[in-house]
Amino acid sequence: MQKTVKRQGFFKKYGEWYLMLAIPVIGSIMFNIYPLIVNAFQSFKNTAGSWVGLVNYNILFTDVLWPKAIINTLYMGVIGVGLSIPIAFLLAYMLNRVPFAKNAFKTIYLFPMIVSIVAVSMVFKFIFNADANSPMNLFLQMIGLPKSDWFSGVSTSRETVMIMTLWKSVGHAVILFFAGLQTMPVELLEAADIDGANEWKKLWYITVPNMKNTLIFVFITNSIGALKRFADVYAIASEYGQPGDTLVTIMIYIYRKSFSTLFYKDLGVASAASIILFLFIIVITVIEMRVTGESESLISNSRKRGAR
Protein backbone atom coordinates (compact mmCIF):
# COMPACT_ATOMS: atom_id res chain seq x y z
CA MET A 1 0.00 0.00 0.00
CA GLN A 2 2.83 2.40 0.90
CA LYS A 3 4.63 1.61 -2.37
CA THR A 4 1.44 2.35 -4.33
CA VAL A 5 1.05 5.72 -2.60
CA LYS A 6 4.70 6.60 -3.27
CA ARG A 7 4.31 5.58 -6.91
CA GLN A 8 1.19 7.71 -7.29
CA GLY A 9 2.98 10.62 -5.66
CA PHE A 10 5.94 10.17 -7.98
CA PHE A 11 3.77 10.19 -11.12
CA LYS A 12 1.77 13.13 -9.80
CA LYS A 13 4.97 15.10 -9.28
CA TYR A 14 6.95 14.05 -12.36
CA GLY A 15 4.31 12.57 -14.69
CA GLU A 16 3.84 15.69 -16.80
CA TRP A 17 7.60 15.96 -17.40
CA TYR A 18 7.80 12.35 -18.55
CA LEU A 19 4.80 13.01 -20.80
CA MET A 20 6.54 15.98 -22.38
CA LEU A 21 9.68 13.87 -22.87
CA ALA A 22 7.59 11.10 -24.44
CA ILE A 23 6.25 13.37 -27.21
CA PRO A 24 9.57 13.74 -29.12
CA VAL A 25 10.35 10.07 -28.44
CA ILE A 26 7.08 9.02 -30.06
CA GLY A 27 7.75 11.40 -32.95
CA SER A 28 11.22 9.93 -33.41
CA ILE A 29 9.81 6.40 -33.45
CA MET A 30 7.12 7.35 -35.99
CA PHE A 31 9.25 9.44 -38.35
CA ASN A 32 12.75 7.98 -37.90
CA ILE A 33 12.90 4.48 -36.46
CA TYR A 34 9.79 3.04 -38.15
CA PRO A 35 10.73 4.31 -41.66
CA LEU A 36 14.25 2.97 -41.11
CA ILE A 37 12.89 -0.50 -40.29
CA VAL A 38 10.54 -0.43 -43.28
CA ASN A 39 13.41 0.71 -45.50
CA ALA A 40 15.60 -2.13 -44.19
CA PHE A 41 12.94 -4.70 -45.12
CA GLN A 42 12.43 -3.01 -48.50
CA SER A 43 16.12 -3.47 -49.27
CA PHE A 44 15.53 -7.26 -49.34
CA LYS A 45 12.58 -7.02 -51.76
CA ASN A 46 12.21 -6.30 -55.46
CA THR A 47 9.92 -3.71 -57.04
CA ALA A 48 7.05 -6.22 -57.02
CA GLY A 49 7.41 -6.69 -53.26
CA SER A 50 8.81 -10.24 -53.43
CA TRP A 51 11.61 -11.28 -51.08
CA VAL A 52 14.93 -11.52 -52.96
CA GLY A 53 17.46 -11.56 -50.11
CA LEU A 54 20.79 -9.87 -50.83
CA VAL A 55 20.17 -9.43 -54.56
CA ASN A 56 19.68 -5.66 -54.23
CA TYR A 57 22.96 -5.32 -52.37
CA ASN A 58 24.69 -7.38 -55.04
CA ILE A 59 23.24 -5.12 -57.75
CA LEU A 60 24.30 -2.06 -55.76
CA PHE A 61 27.92 -3.11 -55.33
CA THR A 62 28.27 -4.18 -58.96
CA ASP A 63 26.90 -0.89 -60.28
CA VAL A 64 29.81 1.17 -61.67
CA LEU A 65 28.11 4.40 -60.57
CA TRP A 66 27.94 3.43 -56.88
CA PRO A 67 31.71 3.65 -56.12
CA LYS A 68 31.79 6.97 -58.00
CA ALA A 69 29.00 8.26 -55.75
CA ILE A 70 30.91 7.17 -52.63
CA ILE A 71 34.19 8.71 -53.82
CA ASN A 72 32.51 12.00 -54.78
CA THR A 73 30.68 12.20 -51.45
CA LEU A 74 33.78 11.46 -49.37
CA TYR A 75 36.02 13.73 -51.45
CA MET A 76 33.72 16.73 -51.13
CA GLY A 77 32.94 15.89 -47.53
CA VAL A 78 36.52 15.61 -46.30
CA ILE A 79 37.72 18.76 -48.06
CA GLY A 80 34.54 20.71 -47.30
CA VAL A 81 34.52 19.92 -43.57
CA GLY A 82 38.29 20.33 -43.40
CA LEU A 83 38.01 23.85 -44.78
CA SER A 84 34.74 25.03 -43.24
CA ILE A 85 35.53 24.35 -39.57
CA PRO A 86 38.91 26.17 -39.39
CA ILE A 87 37.55 29.09 -41.44
CA ALA A 88 34.41 29.32 -39.31
CA PHE A 89 36.39 29.10 -36.08
CA LEU A 90 38.83 31.80 -37.25
CA LEU A 91 35.98 34.12 -38.26
CA ALA A 92 34.20 33.53 -34.94
CA TYR A 93 37.42 34.14 -33.02
CA MET A 94 37.99 37.45 -34.82
CA LEU A 95 34.33 38.40 -34.39
CA ASN A 96 34.61 37.76 -30.66
CA ARG A 97 37.63 40.09 -30.44
CA VAL A 98 36.15 43.11 -32.26
CA PRO A 99 34.83 45.81 -29.87
CA PHE A 100 31.72 46.87 -31.83
CA ALA A 101 29.44 46.04 -34.82
CA LYS A 102 29.27 42.36 -33.83
CA ASN A 103 25.57 42.12 -34.68
CA ALA A 104 26.21 43.56 -38.13
CA PHE A 105 28.87 40.93 -38.83
CA LYS A 106 26.65 38.15 -37.50
CA THR A 107 23.90 39.28 -39.87
CA ILE A 108 26.33 39.25 -42.78
CA TYR A 109 27.49 35.71 -41.93
CA LEU A 110 23.93 34.43 -41.50
CA PHE A 111 22.52 36.10 -44.63
CA PRO A 112 23.64 33.34 -47.07
CA MET A 113 21.80 30.75 -44.96
CA ILE A 114 18.39 32.36 -45.57
CA VAL A 115 18.93 32.54 -49.35
CA SER A 116 17.47 29.66 -51.36
CA ILE A 117 20.02 27.20 -52.69
CA VAL A 118 18.39 27.60 -56.12
CA ALA A 119 19.05 31.36 -56.06
CA VAL A 120 22.59 30.78 -54.82
CA SER A 121 23.26 28.25 -57.58
CA MET A 122 22.01 30.66 -60.25
CA VAL A 123 24.31 33.41 -58.99
CA PHE A 124 27.31 31.08 -58.77
CA LYS A 125 26.60 29.65 -62.22
CA PHE A 126 26.83 33.20 -63.56
CA ILE A 127 29.98 34.07 -61.61
CA PHE A 128 31.75 30.75 -62.23
CA ASN A 129 30.64 30.27 -65.82
CA ALA A 130 33.04 28.43 -68.13
CA ASP A 131 32.84 31.29 -70.64
CA ALA A 132 35.99 33.39 -70.96
CA ASN A 133 33.98 36.53 -70.17
CA SER A 134 32.51 35.26 -66.90
CA PRO A 135 33.39 37.34 -63.81
CA MET A 136 35.76 34.79 -62.28
CA ASN A 137 37.52 33.99 -65.56
CA LEU A 138 37.97 37.69 -66.24
CA PHE A 139 39.49 38.02 -62.78
CA LEU A 140 41.85 35.09 -63.44
CA GLN A 141 42.96 36.65 -66.70
CA MET A 142 43.57 39.98 -64.96
CA ILE A 143 46.05 38.35 -62.57
CA GLY A 144 47.71 36.36 -65.35
CA LEU A 145 46.10 32.94 -64.80
CA PRO A 146 44.33 30.80 -67.42
CA LYS A 147 40.55 30.56 -67.41
CA SER A 148 38.83 27.61 -65.74
CA ASP A 149 35.81 25.50 -66.66
CA TRP A 150 34.49 25.66 -63.06
CA PHE A 151 31.17 23.75 -62.86
CA SER A 152 31.60 22.43 -66.40
CA GLY A 153 35.04 20.87 -65.89
CA VAL A 154 35.58 17.30 -64.73
CA SER A 155 38.62 18.37 -62.69
CA THR A 156 37.00 21.51 -61.19
CA SER A 157 33.27 20.84 -60.77
CA ARG A 158 33.46 19.35 -57.26
CA GLU A 159 35.78 22.06 -55.98
CA THR A 160 33.50 24.79 -57.37
CA VAL A 161 30.49 23.24 -55.64
CA MET A 162 32.48 23.21 -52.40
CA ILE A 163 33.24 26.93 -52.80
CA MET A 164 29.52 27.63 -53.22
CA THR A 165 28.55 25.45 -50.26
CA LEU A 166 31.25 26.98 -48.08
CA TRP A 167 29.92 30.47 -48.80
CA LYS A 168 26.35 29.42 -48.04
CA SER A 169 26.83 27.33 -44.91
CA VAL A 170 29.90 28.62 -43.06
CA GLY A 171 27.82 31.24 -41.23
CA HIS A 172 26.01 28.55 -39.23
CA ALA A 173 29.26 27.25 -37.77
CA VAL A 174 30.48 30.82 -37.18
CA ILE A 175 27.45 31.59 -35.00
CA LEU A 176 27.82 28.33 -33.05
CA PHE A 177 31.50 28.99 -32.41
CA PHE A 178 30.79 32.60 -31.50
CA ALA A 179 28.16 31.48 -28.97
CA GLY A 180 30.69 29.09 -27.45
CA LEU A 181 33.35 31.80 -27.25
CA GLN A 182 30.91 34.10 -25.50
CA THR A 183 30.48 31.60 -22.66
CA MET A 184 34.22 31.18 -22.01
CA PRO A 185 35.39 32.27 -18.54
CA VAL A 186 37.03 35.69 -18.90
CA GLU A 187 39.14 34.99 -15.82
CA LEU A 188 41.19 32.38 -17.69
CA LEU A 189 42.17 34.82 -20.44
CA GLU A 190 42.93 37.55 -17.89
CA ALA A 191 45.15 35.16 -15.94
CA ALA A 192 46.94 34.22 -19.17
CA ASP A 193 47.53 37.92 -19.92
CA ILE A 194 49.02 38.40 -16.48
CA ASP A 195 51.32 35.40 -17.05
CA GLY A 196 52.48 36.94 -20.33
CA ALA A 197 50.91 34.40 -22.69
CA ASN A 198 50.77 35.45 -26.34
CA GLU A 199 47.70 35.09 -28.61
CA TRP A 200 48.75 31.68 -29.94
CA LYS A 201 49.18 30.17 -26.48
CA LYS A 202 45.88 31.62 -25.30
CA LEU A 203 44.18 30.16 -28.38
CA TRP A 204 45.75 26.70 -28.13
CA TYR A 205 45.88 26.17 -24.36
CA ILE A 206 42.71 27.99 -23.27
CA THR A 207 40.28 28.73 -26.10
CA VAL A 208 40.41 25.44 -28.01
CA PRO A 209 40.13 23.13 -24.94
CA ASN A 210 37.20 25.15 -23.60
CA MET A 211 35.53 24.96 -27.01
CA LYS A 212 35.94 21.19 -27.40
CA ASN A 213 32.22 20.36 -27.00
CA THR A 214 31.20 22.92 -29.61
CA LEU A 215 34.00 21.80 -31.94
CA ILE A 216 32.95 18.16 -31.65
CA PHE A 217 29.28 19.04 -32.22
CA VAL A 218 30.02 21.15 -35.32
CA PHE A 219 32.46 18.57 -36.65
CA ILE A 220 30.02 15.67 -36.34
CA THR A 221 26.97 17.56 -37.67
CA ASN A 222 28.95 18.95 -40.62
CA SER A 223 30.26 15.47 -41.41
CA ILE A 224 26.75 14.00 -41.36
CA GLY A 225 25.53 16.83 -43.57
CA ALA A 226 28.41 16.19 -45.99
CA LEU A 227 27.50 12.50 -46.25
CA LYS A 228 23.90 13.49 -47.02
CA ARG A 229 24.94 16.10 -49.62
CA PHE A 230 22.11 16.62 -52.07
CA ALA A 231 20.65 20.12 -52.46
CA ASP A 232 23.78 21.91 -53.68
CA VAL A 233 24.82 19.31 -56.27
CA TYR A 234 21.22 18.86 -57.43
CA ALA A 235 20.83 22.62 -57.88
CA ILE A 236 23.94 22.68 -60.08
CA ALA A 237 23.71 19.43 -62.05
CA SER A 238 20.22 18.10 -61.34
CA GLU A 239 20.13 14.29 -61.17
CA TYR A 240 22.52 13.90 -64.10
CA GLY A 241 25.57 14.58 -61.92
CA GLN A 242 27.51 15.92 -64.89
CA PRO A 243 30.20 16.53 -65.96
CA GLY A 244 31.50 12.99 -66.04
CA ASP A 245 29.43 11.86 -63.03
CA THR A 246 31.63 14.00 -60.78
CA LEU A 247 28.58 15.47 -59.01
CA VAL A 248 26.81 12.18 -58.38
CA THR A 249 26.71 11.79 -54.61
CA ILE A 250 25.18 8.99 -52.55
CA MET A 251 21.97 10.99 -52.10
CA ILE A 252 21.79 11.76 -55.84
CA TYR A 253 22.21 8.03 -56.50
CA ILE A 254 19.38 7.21 -54.09
CA TYR A 255 17.23 9.90 -55.70
CA ARG A 256 17.86 8.42 -59.13
CA LYS A 257 16.76 5.00 -57.98
CA SER A 258 13.72 6.30 -56.05
CA PHE A 259 12.11 9.29 -57.78
CA SER A 260 13.81 9.82 -61.13
CA THR A 261 11.79 10.19 -64.32
CA LEU A 262 14.95 10.07 -66.45
CA PHE A 263 16.72 6.93 -65.20
CA TYR A 264 15.68 3.37 -64.38
CA LYS A 265 14.13 3.22 -60.90
CA ASP A 266 14.57 0.37 -58.43
CA LEU A 267 13.25 0.97 -54.91
CA GLY A 268 14.98 -2.13 -53.57
CA VAL A 269 18.40 -0.90 -54.68
CA ALA A 270 17.59 2.61 -53.41
CA SER A 271 16.68 1.15 -50.02
CA ALA A 272 19.91 -0.85 -49.94
CA ALA A 273 21.88 2.32 -50.73
CA SER A 274 20.02 4.12 -47.93
CA ILE A 275 20.97 1.42 -45.44
CA ILE A 276 24.61 1.59 -46.51
CA LEU A 277 24.53 5.37 -46.11
CA PHE A 278 23.05 4.95 -42.63
CA LEU A 279 25.86 2.56 -41.70
CA PHE A 280 28.42 5.00 -43.13
CA ILE A 281 27.05 7.76 -40.92
CA ILE A 282 27.11 5.54 -37.81
CA VAL A 283 30.67 4.32 -38.45
CA ILE A 284 32.09 7.75 -39.29
CA THR A 285 30.36 9.33 -36.29
CA VAL A 286 31.81 6.70 -33.94
CA ILE A 287 35.28 7.12 -35.47
CA GLU A 288 35.08 10.90 -35.13
CA MET A 289 34.00 10.64 -31.49
CA ARG A 290 36.90 8.28 -30.77
CA VAL A 291 39.39 10.51 -32.59
CA THR A 292 38.14 13.69 -30.91
CA GLY A 293 38.29 11.91 -27.55
CA GLU A 294 41.93 11.00 -28.15
CA SER A 295 42.66 14.54 -29.36
CA GLU A 296 41.11 15.89 -26.19
CA SER A 297 43.47 13.79 -24.05
CA LEU A 298 46.46 14.94 -26.14
CA ILE A 299 45.45 18.61 -25.69
CA SER A 300 44.99 18.03 -21.97
CA ASN A 301 48.49 16.52 -21.71
CA SER A 302 49.99 19.39 -23.72
CA ARG A 303 48.29 21.86 -21.43
CA LYS A 304 49.82 20.14 -18.41
CA ARG A 305 53.27 20.24 -19.99
CA GLY A 306 52.76 23.88 -20.91
CA ALA A 307 51.75 24.71 -17.32
CA ARG A 308 54.98 23.18 -16.08
| pLDDT tens, residue by residue, 18-52 | 788 888 889 889 988 999 999 999 999 988 888 99
Distance, CA of 120 to CA of 158 (rounded, Å): 16
Note down the domain range covering 58. 52-128+154-307
Highest mean pLDDT among 4-8, 189-193, 246-250: 246-250
Q: Read off the CATH number of the domain in which 286 is found.
A: 1.10.3720.10
Domain count, the chain: 1
Whether 21 is covered by a domain: the verdict is no
Whether 90 is covered by a domain: the verdict is yes
- The reported pLDDT for the residue numbered 307 is 45
The structure's pTM equals 0.85
Whether 82 is covered by a domain: the verdict is yes
Whether 170 is covered by a domain: the verdict is yes
Q: What is the DSSP letter of 152?
A: G
Digit-coded pLDDT (tens) for 89-105: 999 988 888 877 788 88
Whether 207 is covered by a domain: the verdict is yes
Whether 32 is covered by a domain: the verdict is no
| Alpha helical stretches, state H, the chain | 2-28, 34-42, 55-62, 65-97, 102-114, 117-127, 135-142, 157-182, 186-194, 199-202, 208-210, 212-227, 231-237, 250-259, 267-307
Distance, CA of 114 to CA of 93 (rounded, Å): 23
Whether 264 is covered by a domain: the verdict is yes
| pLDDT band at residue 165 using 50, 70 and 90 as cut-offs | very high
- The reported pLDDT for the residue numbered 306 is 46
- The reported pLDDT for the residue numbered 106 is 84
Whether 133 is covered by a domain: the verdict is no
